[in-house]
Amino acid sequence: MKLIVGLGNPGAKYQHNRHNIGFMAVDRIAADHGFGPWRARFQGEIAEGRLGTERVSLLKPATFMNLSGQSVGEAMRYLKLDPADVIVLHDELDLAPGKLRLKLGGGHAGHNGLRSLHEHIGDGYRRLRLGIGHPGHKDRVAGYVLSDFAKAEEDGLDDLLRGISDGAEALASGDDARFIKAVAARTAPARNSGTRPAPEAPARPTPEKAAEPPAAPQSISDRLRALSERFR
C-alpha cells in the first residue's frame, strides 16, 4: 500500500495558492481515478482507491502546512507503513513553473511542510517537487507562496496536473521513468511529426534573358552597298 500526500493549507482562502499545488495534484488524481469520497481522518482528509494494482490512500493534512508531519505520522502508524511507502507532493521554489523532480530522502531546504515531516517521520520518504518559480528575493517568498497562481499560469498548471494524474499509476508503482514520460506528454508535446503538410518552397525567380550585344556600326561603304541593293 502507498500513502500519497499533498501538502497545502486547508480552507477556501488558500485553495488556489501556489503553496497548495500539492492539494491540487491529489485532488486531480482522486477525481480522474475514481477514488472514494474524501473523509475527515488523521487530522486531515483521506480518499482511498487503486492506481493499477496498488492500493493507495490520498491524504491532505488539515493541520496547516507547518504541522503537516502530525497528520502524516498518524496515518502512517495506523496504516503500518514505512517512510519509503510515502510519496509527498509539494511546491518547490527552486524549479520553474511546470517543472517537477522526483527525489528520495534529503533535506527540507527550508520548506516548512517538509521540516515538519522530517520531525515526525524522518527523511526517508519520496517527494515529488512541483515547480512554482521564485519571486526573486527571499523577503518576498512568504507573500509569493501564499498568493494565487496568475491567470497566465493557469494553462501550464492544468497541463502539469493532468500529466501527474496520467502518470499516477507509474508514480505509485515506482516506475519513475514512465511517470516522467506521462507528464512530459502533457507539458512538452512532440513537435510536428510530419503529418502536417510542409510549407511550399518559394518559387525561384526566372533568370532574365541576357540582352544581345548591340550590332557593330556599319561602315560608309557598307551603307552605300546596302542602298544600292535596295534600288536595283
Average model confidence (pLDDT) for the chain? 88
Q: Considering the domain boundaries, does residue 55 fall inside one? A: yes
Indicate if the pLDDT at residue 3 is higher than 60. Answer: yes
What residue type is 3 in one-letter code? L
Q: DSSP strand E in the chain: where? A: 2-6, 39-41, 44-51, 54-61, 86-92, 100-104, 126-131
Q: Considering the domain boundaries, does residue 192 fall inside one? A: no
Q: Give the domain CATH number at 130.
A: 3.40.50.1470
DSSP annotation of 180 reads H
Angle (nearest 5°) at CA 42 between 39 and 111: 110
Q: Considering the domain boundaries, does residue 110 fall inside one? A: yes
pLDDT of residue 196: 47
Q: Considering the domain boundaries, does residue 52 fall inside one? A: yes
Q: Considering the domain boundaries, does residue 231 fall inside one? A: no
pLDDT tens-place string over residues 4-33? 999 999 999 999 999 999 999 999 999 999
pLDDT tens-place string over residues 81-98? 999 999 999 999 999 999
* Residue 34 domain boundaries: 2-154
For 194, what's the count of Cα atoms within 13 Å in the CB-facing half-sphere? 0
For 35, what's the count of Cα atoms within 13 Å in the CB-facing half-sphere? 27
Number of domains in the chain: 1
Which residues does the annotation mark as catalytic?
19
Average pLDDT over residues 113-127: 96
Q: Considering the domain boundaries, does residue 181 fall inside one? A: no
Q: Considering the domain boundaries, does residue 122 fall inside one? A: yes
Q: Considering the domain boundaries, does residue 85 fall inside one? A: yes
Q: Determine which of 47-56, 205-214, 219-228 has the lowest per-residue pLDDT on average.
A: 205-214
